[in-house]
Structure 1
Amino acid sequence: MSSFLAAALQMNSTPDPDANFAQAEELIELAARRGADLVGLPENFAFMGEEARKLELAPNLAERCSRFLVTMARRYQVTLLGGGFPVPAGESLTYNRAELVGTDGLLLARYDKIHLFDVDLPDGNTFTESATVCSGAELPPVVAVPGLCRIGLSICYDVRFPELYRHLVGAGAELIMVPAAFTAYTGKDHWQILLQARAIENTAYLLAPAQTGLHYGRRQSHGHALVIDPWGTVLADAGVSQGVAVAPVDPSHLQRVRGQMPSLRHRRPALF
């Protein structure tokens, strides 16, 4: 396979879905103009607001997000990940779902976030994702995308659970997508180092779209959408502004790194 450009989009989503969809399309268009073949939107790209409002909007947002991804993928001829949007999962609960759509608008893969962010942070913020989100029941998929590579899916808090990434690389992943809305408090210390660790230990590319800035109330995201190579090198960083991190993904480089550092072949899982 030949190399291609991948783009991790960085958004500042709000409680206004119309504004978020407009912002998302602007960034998708920018990525496409820069030559990206694979584009990732961050977690909560369509809505960042109060949980009660999210539950109210979920039925409409679920349908609208899926249609939006199909339309954008076709319009800009990119393989597109919608990094996490609410899908009804019974009374007062949603799934946090990611969908990967091909250039023809067909659904390639779908994943409902497994690990839920229930944390009391020292800065006074409390997050209880499980209060409104139902954990996914299936391991994330890996899909071979023609002309690109084998892509695995994950979402945000998953990055703290290395066994999930072992599953993905064991299923053949060459590039793993990690769309996120990482908090500013944890992000400053953990975001980049966790992503680099997942890239290094699995000798895989990581594409990590991100939310940035203040959204509503006290909710603030870290930013720094990243593209990281299998050696752990940061190839592109979107900083803290809305924008795009674009970098080449080279399958031959991945094979060279796996040849030079064959740790995946040295594993002895039967001993653990």
Structure 2
Amino acid sequence: MKIALAQMNSGIVPVENADRLRSLIADAAAAGATVIFTPEMSGLLDRDRSRAAASIRSESDDAVLAAVRSEAKKAGMWVQLGSLAITSPDDPGGKWINRSYLINPAGDITARYDKIHLFDVDLGPEESQRESSAYAGGHNAVVAAVPEAMLGMSICYDLRFPGLYEALTNAGADILSVPAAFTVPTGRAHWQILLRARAIEAGAFVVAAGQYGQHEDGRSTYGHSMVIDPWGDILLDMGEGEGLGFCDLDMKKVQEVRSRIPAVANRKRFELPVTDA
């Protein structure tokens, strides 16, 4: 299965990001890819939440989602839209949702995943991020069918929580998607090693499309969109810059690796006893 990864520098104007996504999807289809994977916040990357609020819509009204669905249908290909910020009528506090989509070649949404683990960190004296102040976290792990495989969906900071990926592979996932907008300091320190660890633990392919560069809102993201095979080998590292990367996935590799090291089959579920101090 030939896949494409889009490494983007999304900005603060959704219509411009939508145009870029259309072009990337068309180019990926022309190159023969079956599925294209895009980064977290493909439609809008803006840390000025007052300004962003004017552009964030409900799922039914989101122009970027509509554009991607239309282009997927036109191109006749699958799109794993890394994520969009959308409003939620179900959240009484008015918080947004960081939602990932799987779209089929008919332009239909076949799966949705809401980011579970929210990025609340202090990276240093000048950089602090509180995703939970604007976003509501999801609750459900999601596995969905793509050609030749089952896809386990996650987003960015989820990468640091191996229990999620254990649940995804227990449910049959053999590809794990990790769309991201990793910061430069954490990217340099942890991005590659965490992706390889998740692939090795799961005996699965990991596909991680990322944001890259200096963005309109002032933040910088790491890039290095990657594909890791079930043995932990790096099949693709897009490094710096924007554009498309391509990789062929041999899905037989999943069973080959899981037969050699049956860690998924040998997993045990256990509880620690509670003892008095």
> Aligning the two structures, in what range does the TM-score lie when normalised by the shorter sequence?
over 0.9
Q: CA deviation at 1:60?
A: 6.1
Letter in 2 for 1:141: V
The total of aligned residue pairs comes to 267
1:122 corresponds in structure 2 to 124
Cα separation, 1, equivalents of 2:204 and 2:52? 34
Unpaired runs of at least 5, structure 1: none
2:66 corresponds in structure 1 to 67
Unpaired runs of at least 5, structure 2: 273-277
Contact 1:144 1:151 in 2 (8 A): yes
More helix by share: 1
1:34-54 per-position Cα deviation (integer Å, ceiling 9, x unaligned)? 221011111111111221222
2:31 corresponds in structure 1 to 34
1:88 corresponds in structure 2 to 87
Cα separation, 2, equivalents of 1:217 and 1:35? 34
Alignment of 1:1-272 (within 5 A): 4-49=1-46, 50-59=48-57, 63-89=62-88, 90=91, 91-122=93-124, 124-137=126-139, 139-145=140-146, 147-270=147-270
Alpha carbon RMSD of aligned pairs, Å?
1.6
Q: CA deviation at 1:123?
A: 6.4
Moved more, 47-56 or 126-135: 47-56
Letter in 2 for 1:59: R
Cα separation, 2, equivalents of 1:163 and 1:245? 29
Q: Normalising by structure 2, what TM-score?
A: 0.92
Contact 2:22 2:68 in 1 (8 A): no
Moved more, 19-28 or 95-104: 19-28
Cα separation, 2, equivalents of 1:58 and 1:16? 11
Cα separation, 1, equivalents of 2:76 and 2:201? 32
Cα separation, 1, equivalents of 2:254 and 2:230? 6
Moved more, 42-51 or 61-70: 61-70
Contact 1:180 1:210 in 2 (8 A): yes
Moved more, 255-264 or 157-166: 255-264
Residues 123 and 164 of structure 1, relative CA distance in 2, 3 Å threshold? same
Contact 1:6 1:207 in 2 (8 A): no
Cα separation, 2, equivalents of 1:155 and 1:73? 21
Cα separation, 2, equivalents of 1:72 and 1:46? 14
When Rg is computed on C-alpha atoms for both structures, the one with the higher figure is: 2
Letter in 1 for 2:243: G
Cα separation, 2, equivalents of 1:214 and 1:92? 29
Residues 57 and 69 of structure 1, relative CA distance in 2, 3 Å threshold? same
Cα separation, 2, equivalents of 1:217 and 1:13? 10
Residues 53 and 170 of structure 1, relative CA distance in 2, 3 Å threshold? same
Contact 2:14 2:55 in 1 (8 A): no
Letter in 2 for 1:37: T
Letter in 2 for 1:65: V
Q: 1:168 is paired with a residue of what secondary structure?
A: helix
Q: CA deviation at 1:70?
A: 1.4
Q: Normalising by structure 1, what TM-score?
A: 0.93
1:21-77 per-position Cα deviation (integer Å, ceiling 9, x unaligned)? 122222222222222101111111111122122222212675223312311211111
Q: CA deviation at 1:217?
A: 4.6
Contact 1:55 1:94 in 2 (8 A): no
Cα separation, 2, equivalents of 1:136 and 1:63? 19
Cα separation, 2, equivalents of 1:123 and 1:150? 42
Residues 107 and 60 of structure 1, relative CA distance in 2, 3 Å threshold? closer
Cα separation, 2, equivalents of 1:259 and 1:171? 18
Contact 1:203 1:231 in 2 (8 A): yes
Cα separation, 1, equivalents of 2:173 and 2:45? 30
